[in-house]
Amino acid sequence: MSSRSSRGLALACLCPTPAAFALGEAAGPVARVPLNVPAITMFLVFVAVTLGITAWAARRTRTTADYYAAGGSITGTQNGVAIAGDFMSAASFLGVTGLIYSGGFDGLIWGVGGLAGWPLLLFLLSERLRNLGRYTFADAVGFRLAAGPMRTLAACSTLIVISLYLVGQMVGAGTLIQLLFGLPYWGAVVTVGGLMVLYVTFGGMIATTWVQITKAVLLLFGSTVLGLLVMNEFGFSFERLFKAAVAVHPKGPAVMAPGGIVSDPLSALSLGAALMFGTAGLPHILMRFFTVPDARAARHSVFVATALIGYFYLLIVVLGFGAIALVGGRPEFLTTAGKLIGGDNMAAIHLSKVVAGDLFLGFVSAVAFATILAVVSGLTLSGASAIAHDLYANVWRRERATEQEVVGISRVAAVALGLLAVVLGIAFEGQNVAYMVLLAFAVAAAVNFPLLVLALYWRGLTTRGAVVGGTVGLLTAIACVVFGPTVWVDLLHHASAPFPYRYPALFALVACVTVTVLVSLTDRSERARREASAYDAQYVRAVTGLGASGASEH
């Protein structure tokens, strides 16, 4: 398998940042490696611990609030670590390291771009979202607008993002298992699907939170140790590290220069929009703000998450350039064609073997796979809440459903999402799913984020404007992907694409905001007048925590 093909597959599969947007090749079959006993042993230990957490959480999950939001019992620090665990997936660890290994400086775009979305969450969304919502971001969007249409749109957007994300995670799990553990692809997919259903069905948000915290601690610990071992090889001198990387890399000094991934300003802006606004619009991240007791804790959790994620990406810089310097020139890690065994995504794995041997390699491999379990748990719970809380309880049953009904529907939805993810994960084996990740981030950036910001801050937003604008943004994102180079040329093998750009987020975002504002401004209906009055009468008080129906106060 070529380096580019491997990178395209694994980044598309694992990515919480759209690192594979520009990669269009379908990946071929993945060659297995000898059975990694330390990795399997450590992974089984992690599974045993997390299943124990799930059993403990199941005894504490009694109400709807417990199931969806851990009863608001998670502290700001705990929630911040869990959010970091949600965001720091195997793509951040393996994928961004691999991008730096292959492209040098340009690989930093993905880390910096994703990190840039967190100040938006901190200053624009966290406090108001916590004050207005109960379990999902649709609660905040529909606070003063018509509940039925808004929740339906928000739930559909959530399910699209979650479904695409889940498929990518399942394909990524199968790929990693083949590369690291020597097990069959379908077995890996079924294992991950079964575990995520157990976590979500029985433990709810309490189990999901502590699984994410456990995984975040392990990932940060492993990355820190690996980073220190790399720096020790160069006397803790960044200058020596970068000089060694320049000397080994085929690009030479150009490895330290930007401009290789994004070549034109419009693509750079659109990629930035996907990374920044998509991160701030991910439904499983937004859902975490309802697990803390108040808005102050919500702000604190974002601050903690931002600090941990920022620290993690600093480590990734060390790992990426360390992999160039220590792995790139060693023939035992290269194929006969001179490519890295397993593809660029295995740069961090090979690096761990170079600096600390097989046992540490087993630990790093197990942590990389364990990250997938934590991420899919959050994704599944978010999708189940959209089905049960937003659609079933608030749209179909019009708030007449009992707590037992809603939690029961959530558990059924979690099982259904798990089965769907397994089936699609197996069906997409060996395929490039970059366009799925692209579409997921484009939808989050072009629909979830702008509608949430407008609902929280603009008095003039109307239900009609939000529904029409959100639908236009959603369809634009899909159209840009389907008719763009990623699908039209790379997947369908046409000569050229009607839409020439690979990154659709900016175009879909502009379409969504423009149509939403225009339709809202021209909406003279009685409902629009009532919605503006509701903003003046109670909405401002609610978002500042001074008093709200169904919202928690400071």
Identify the band that residue 23 occupies on the pLDDT scale cut at 50, 70 and 90.
Answer: very low
pLDDT at res. 279: 85
Q: What is the DSSP letter of 178?
A: I
280 pLDDT higher than 70: yes
Helix (H, G, I), strand (E, B) or coil at 365: helix
Q: What is the DSSP letter of 340?
A: B
* β-sheet bridge partners, residue 334: 340
Residue range 501-535, pLDDT digits in tens: 888 899 999 999 999 999 999 998 888 888 887 77
- The answer to whether the Cα torsion of 382, 385, 390, 392 is positive or negative is positive
pLDDT at res. 3: 40
Greater confidence (511 vs 259) lies with 511
Residue range 163-214, pLDDT digits in tens: 888 877 787 777 777 766 677 888 888 888 888 888 888 888 888 899 889 9
Rounded to 5 degrees, φ, ψ at 13 are -75, -40
Nearest-Å Rg of the Cα atoms of the chain is 23
Q: What is the mean pLDDT of the chain?
A: 81
Calpha distance 306→80 (Å, rounded) = 8
Calpha distance 547→554 (Å, rounded) = 9
Strands (E), 82-133: none
pLDDT at res. 38: 75
Between the ranges 9-23, 85-99, 174-188, where is the mean pLDDT highest? 85-99
pLDDT at res. 226: 94
449 pLDDT higher than 90: yes
308 pLDDT higher than 90: yes
Helix (H, G, I), strand (E, B) or coil at 554: coil
285 pLDDT higher than 50: yes
Greater confidence (166 vs 19) lies with 166
CA proximity to 531, closest of 470, 463, 465: 463
CA proximity to 143, closest of 554, 540, 553: 540
Q: Which residues touch 268 (CB under 8 Å, ≥6 apart)?
A: 262
Residues 390/156, Cβ–Cβ less than 8 Å: no
Calpha distance 537→66 (Å, rounded) = 31
Residues 436/13, Cβ–Cβ less than 8 Å: no
pLDDT at res. 430: 61
pLDDT mean over 377-397: 87
- The answer to whether the Cα torsion of 426, 376, 161, 96 is positive or negative is negative
Q: Where are the domains of the chain?
A: 3-32+67-200+208-431
pTM over 0.75: yes
Calpha distance 228→230 (Å, rounded) = 5
pLDDT at res. 15: 43
Q: Which residues touch 403 (CB under 8 Å, ≥6 apart)?
A: 63, 64
Count CB atoms within 10 A of the CB of residue 270.
26
CA proximity to 25, closest of 41, 7, 43: 7
* Overall CATH class of domain 3-32+67-200+208-431: mainly alpha
Identify the band that residue 80 occupies on the pLDDT scale cut at 50, 70 and 90.
Answer: very high
CA proximity to 209, closest of 339, 79, 31, 99: 79
pLDDT mean over 231-255: 89
Helix (H, G, I), strand (E, B) or coil at 22: coil
Calpha distance 465→369 (Å, rounded) = 43
267 pLDDT higher than 70: yes
Q: What percent of the residues of the chain are helix, what percent strand, and what percent coil, each to the nearest 5?
A: 75, 0, 25
Q: Which residue has the tokens 């039209």?
A: 488
Count CB atoms within 10 A of the CB of residue 147.
19
Calpha distance 69→205 (Å, rounded) = 6
Calculate the CA 189 to chain-centre distance. Answer: 19
- Out of 8-17, 280-289, 411-420, least confident range: 8-17
Rounded to 5 degrees, φ, ψ at 334 are -120, 150
Instruction: Count how many Cα atoms sit within 13 Å of the Cα of residue 462 in the half-sphere of its side chain.
Output: 18
Tokens of 474: 């959603």
pLDDT mean over 9-19: 40
Q: How many helices and strands in the chain, by DSSP H and E?
A: 25, 0
Tokens of 25: 């090749």
406 pLDDT higher than 50: yes
Cα separation values, 446 from 241, 488, 516, Å: 40, 21, 11
Helix (H, G, I), strand (E, B) or coil at 397: coil
Calpha distance 301→287 (Å, rounded) = 13
Tokens of 11: 């980044």
Identify the band that residue 16 occupies on the pLDDT scale cut at 50, 70 and 90.
Answer: very low
25 pLDDT higher than 70: no
